[in-house]
Amino acid sequence: MNILFYHPTFNPESWVNGLAQRLPQAQVRVWQPGDDAPADYALVWQPPREMLANRSGLKGIFALGAGVDAILAQERQAPGTLPAGVPLLRLEDTGMAQQMREYVLAYVLRFFRRMDEYQLQQQQKQWQPLKPHRQERFTIGIMGAGVLGQQVAQALVALGFTVRCWSRSPKQIAGVESFHGRENLPAFLHETRLLVNLLPNTPETVGILDLALMKQLASQAYLINAARGAHLKEGDLLTALEQGQVAAAALDVFADEPLARMHPFWSHPRVTVTPHIAAVTLPSQAMDQIAANIRAIEQGGTPSGQVDRERGY
């Protein structure tokens, strides 16, 4: 069995060695331009088109992250990047849910306890206790109730928050009110005080965080965007902040990354910027999952994490 690896920034040696340990029967190699020797599986992030376009015999392509929007966009721009008919698989959790829980909880508590405002007051040497937010008036809405969204929701319920989620299909998550489908989006947004975005970036969700949506939230709402920058209409957020519709935002992802030095978010007093670190790929857990999926395919079983290319996630 031959496995190809390509990632623009990961240390290839540790991946090649780690995969070889987990799949002793496999020959694992780092793809180099010009390499068109046979391969059964490919592990990729931002693969050049020539890596996979003319290959036959591939049994699976593993994206080295949870979100596959970038690789599907590559395919749209350069057809053949993902050869037709080959299953595309993504990482499911592999330690990202724990990281995402930490990220979202950190900002929920920062906003709920008004730490962001106290930080601004400290800069003014201002000693001014603020009226505390009350949990019963601080409903948290999570857009996207998949692998990450569900775990974040459960962690917030455990802290005593009122939590609702929105997804395509209905969910049953203990203590969480489930809304689904476009028709129920207004009901989900109504009275949501803090909105967490954990949707995949698809043709249906791109630009979903716009002014019209923000206006449906409770006034002085908070936004945490830890999914993709393409979800957010950045100018609309600036308007909503200016109008007081949105009180503050924590943003991990941006339309253009790295965020341009001149971007207004950097210095906005009510915006917190992090450099796409909410949940990163943990090599060891990712390799465990990929190796298990390869074994499943080899044994005629069904691997997990298969992407529906039409749906976009």
Ligand X SMILES: NC(=O)C1=CN([C@@H]2O[C@H](COP(=O)(O)OP(=O)(O)OC[C@H]3O[C@@H](n4cnc5c(N)ncnc54)[C@H](OP(=O)(O)O)[C@@H]3O)[C@@H](O)[C@H]2O)C=CC1
Interface residues with ligand 3PY (CB under 6 A)? 65-67, 276, 279-281
Choices 15-23, 77-85, 126-134, 162-170 (CB under 6 A): range interacting with ligand X: 162-170
Joined tokens for residue 231: 């979800």
Cβ distance 97 to 279 under 8 Å? yes
Q: Which is nearer to ligand X, 28 or 64 (CB)?
A: 64
Closest residue to ligand X using C-beta atoms: 146
Which residue's CB is nearer to ligand X, number 55 or number 171? 171
Least gap, CB of 223 to ligand 3PY (angstroms):
18
Residue span 167-206 as binding mask against ligand X, x where in contact by CB under 6 A, dash where not:
xxx----------------------------xxxxx-xx-
Please, what is the Cα angle at 245 between 243 and 249, to 5 degrees? 105
d(CA 311, CA 307): 8
Does residue 291 contact residue 58 with C-beta atoms inside 8 Å? no
| Interface map 253-282 toward ligand X (x if CB under 6 A) | x----------------------x-xx---
Residue nearest to ligand 3PY (CB): 65
- Regarding 96 and contact with ligand X (CB under 6 A), the answer is yes
End-to-end Cα, the chain, rounded Å: 28
Q: Report the candidate in 203, 226, 216 with the shortest Cα–Cα distance to residue 272.
A: 226
Q: Looking at beta carbons only, is 106 or 211 nearer to ligand 3PY? A: 106
Closest CA to 176 of 208, 200, 152: 152
Reference 45, options 33, 31, 25, 24; nearest CA is: 31
Residues that bind ligand X (CB under 6 A): 66-67, 96, 144-149, 166-169, 198-202, 204-205, 226-228, 252-253, 276, 278-279, 313
